[in-house]
Amino acid sequence: MSQSTGVAGQVQSLLGLPGVTEAVEEAREACTQLRWHQALRRRIPEAAAESRVRGSAATALLEGSEPAGSQGTVVLVRDLVRGAASWPKEPDPVERVLKAAVQVTAATESAGPSSLASPAQLLARLHVAASADLLPPAQVGRPRGRGEACPEFADLGPAPAAEELPERLDALYDLLRSVQAGTSALAVAALAHAELVTVRPFVTGNGLVARALERVVHRVGGLDPTGVAVPELGHSQKVGADYRGALTAYSEGGLEGVRLWLLHCAEAAVTGAGAGTVIADAVLAGRLAPGSSQTT
Let me know if residue 264 belongs to a domain. Answer: yes
pLDDT of residue 295: 43
pLDDT of residue 289: 54
Rounded to an integer, what distance in angstroms lies between the CA atom of residue 243 and that of residue 207? 11
Chain CA centroid to CA 241, Å: 17
pLDDT of residue 293: 45
Let me know if residue 256 belongs to a domain. Answer: yes
Rounded to an integer, what distance in angstroms lies between the CA atom of residue 263 and that of residue 243? 11
pLDDT of residue 3: 57
User: Mind listing the pLDDT tens digit of every residue in the chain (296 residues)?
Assistant: 345 558 888 999 999 999 999 999 999 999 999 999 999 999 999 999 999 999 999 999 999 877 654 447 898 999 999 888 899 989 899 999 999 999 999 999 999 989 999 999 999 999 999 999 899 999 999 999 999 999 999 999 999 999 999 999 999 999 999 998 899 999 999 999 999 999 999 999 999 999 999 999 999 999 999 999 999 999 998 878 999 999 999 999 899 999 999 999 999 999 999 999 999 999 999 887 554 444 44
Let me know if residue 107 belongs to a domain. Answer: yes
Residue 87: which CATH number?
1.10.3290.10
Residues in CB range of 52: below 8 A, 6 or more apart: 81, 105, 106, 108, 109, 227
pLDDT of residue 206: 98
pLDDT of residue 83: 87
What distance, in Å, lies between the first and last C-alpha atoms of the chain?
A: 48
Segments in the chain forming alpha helices (H): 3-15, 20-35, 44-62, 70-82, 93-107, 113-117, 119-131, 165-177, 185-199, 206-220, 231-236, 241-251, 255-285
pLDDT of residue 296: 44
Let me know if residue 164 belongs to a domain. Answer: yes
CB atoms inside a 10 Å sphere around CB 33:
13
Total tally of structural domains belonging to the chain: 1
- The model's pLDDT over 64-107, given as tens digits with 9 standing for 90+, comes to 877 654 447 898 999 999 888 899 989 899 999 999 999 999 99
pLDDT of residue 6: 81
pTM for the full model?
0.93
Let me know if residue 259 belongs to a domain. Answer: yes
pLDDT of residue 67: 65
Question: Which residue range forms the structural domain that includes residue 170?
Answer: 3-285
Let me know if residue 33 belongs to a domain. Answer: yes
pLDDT of residue 287: 81
Let me know if residue 291 belongs to a domain. Answer: no
pLDDT of residue 12: 92
Let me know if residue 152 belongs to a domain. Answer: yes
